[in-house]
């Protein structure tokens, strides 16, 4: 399959923070204008209830507002992080997103056992698996697109989950800190997982600047990152954040093994292969710790959170499946999975 042609010059990030991108509709346009101008966002009454909760406009608007709690944007005042008008809009949009998630999961498991049992067994049929496709028949241009998309999370890997630590106690807190310590390089900056992913991007001849590919990311990808921020920023959803984190750790090792093979088969480079090889071993250990100590400890302290943990897991599976379907449909039809075409090479 021939890769789609490269688009015009990509958005680039500065040393200060990523550059603010253009909006994709009324809500994201209002956010972008408000951040650039320093004024309150202006949008029509009823815009949020009418917005598609899965669409480009709402998902980008949410991502932009969530990013204020991470690194912000170049030439955007840091104080806008706590602007009451922006927070009000964010609350309304994330309520819309959260309701859509619950609507899509009417039969979601209510127990931790029911939520995680299907994830602990490798499925016999991997034909729908994106990592299996990349392992067995993926092309280098597809690996580059996949990395460009995933960079929106992996360049801040583990950051959204750190918000849960002050909301935990005892066993759960100690175990969560131990896992995050590994994620952040165990005291070695060159081993921070976000740094390892930046090295992967360099091997793939991609721009590793934080937030560089935001303008290329479609709504299904934005939703996967927004889910972590939504769970992380709401203390009431601390159980869902633990469920999300556990789901990622449980499913990471098999997928990472396949992606390491894909990188090796396509000759992507040693750093590209190493990122996923590192996750095969690390996440196999993390899976046991998060299930038995983080979840076990949290349920011992707050048993009423079990349904939230199960919901966090189910919501993660839902959005990852939606993203995989989106990417595979694009590739199966010879299209780029990025909004504006294949990523250009670094310059």
- pLDDT tens, position by position, 48-90: 999 999 999 999 999 999 999 999 999 999 999 999 999 999 9
Mean pLDDT rounded to a whole number for the chain: 92
Cβ burial 188-199 (10 Å sphere, 16+ → b, else e): eeeebbbbbbbb
| pLDDT for the residue 11 | 35
Residue-wise pLDDT for 229-286, tens only, equals 999 999 999 999 999 999 999 988 889 999 999 999 999 999 999 999 988 877 778 8
Q: How far apart are CA 182 and CA 191, in angstroms?
A: 9
CB atoms < 10 A from the CB of 36, how many? Answer: 12
Q: Give the confidence band of 132 by pLDDT, cuts at 50, 70, 90.
A: very high
| pLDDT for the residue 346 | 56
In order of their start, the domains of the chain are: 26-104 (no CATH), 112-332 (1.20.910.10)
- CB proximity list for 205: less than 8 A, separation 6 or greater: 144, 345, 346
pLDDT for residue 122 is more than 80: no
Q: Is 73 exposed, middle or buried (0-12, 13-18, 19+ CB in 10 A)?
A: buried
Q: What is the mean pLDDT of residues 6-12?
A: 36
- With beta carbons less than 8 A apart as the criterion, state whether 151 and 161 touch: no
| pLDDT for the residue 345 | 57
pTM: 0.92
């Amino acid at each position: 399959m021939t890769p789609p042609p490269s688009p015009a010059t990509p958005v680039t990030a500065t040393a200060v923070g990523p550059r603010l991108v253009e909006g994709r509709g009324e809500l994201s346009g209002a956010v972008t204008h408000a951040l650039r101008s320093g004024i309150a966002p202006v949008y029509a009454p009823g815009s949020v209830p009418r917005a598609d909760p899965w669409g480009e406009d709402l998902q980008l608007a949410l991502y932009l507002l969530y990013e204020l709690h991470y690194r912000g944007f170049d030439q955007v005042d840091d104080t806008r992080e706590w602007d009451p008008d922006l927070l009000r809009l964010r609350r309304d949009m994330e309520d819309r997103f959260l309701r859509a998630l619950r609507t899509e999961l009417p039969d979601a498991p209510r127990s931790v056992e029911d939520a995680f049992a299907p994830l602990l067994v490798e499925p016999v049929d991997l034909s729908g698996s994106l990592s299996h496709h990349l392992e067995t028949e993926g092309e280098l241009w597809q690996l580059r697109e996949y990395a460009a998309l995933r960079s929106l999370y992996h360049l801040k890997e583990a950051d959204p989950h750190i918000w849960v630590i002050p909301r935990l106690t005892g066993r759960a807190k100690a175990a969560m800190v131990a896992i995050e310590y590994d994620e952040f390089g165990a005291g070695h900056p060159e081993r921070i997982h976000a740094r390892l992913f930046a090295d992967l991007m360099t091997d793939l001849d991609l721009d590793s600047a934080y937030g560089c590919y935001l303008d290329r990311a479609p709504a299904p990808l934005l939703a996967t990152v927004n889910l972590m921020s939504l769970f992380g920023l709401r203390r009431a959803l601390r159980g869902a954040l633990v469920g999300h984190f556990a789901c990622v750790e449980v499913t990471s090792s098999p997928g990472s093994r396949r992606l390491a093979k894909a990188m090796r088969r396509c000759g992507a480079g040693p750093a590209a292969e190493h990122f996923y090889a590192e996750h095969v071993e690390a996440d196999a250990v993390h899976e046991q710790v998060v299930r038995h100590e983080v979840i076990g400890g949290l349920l011992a302290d707050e048993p009423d959170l079990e349904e939230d943990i199960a919901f966090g897991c189910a919501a993660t599976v839902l959005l990852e499946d939606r993203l995989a379907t989106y990417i595979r449909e694009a590739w199966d039809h010879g299209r780029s999975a990025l909004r504006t075409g294949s990523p250009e090479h670094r310059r």
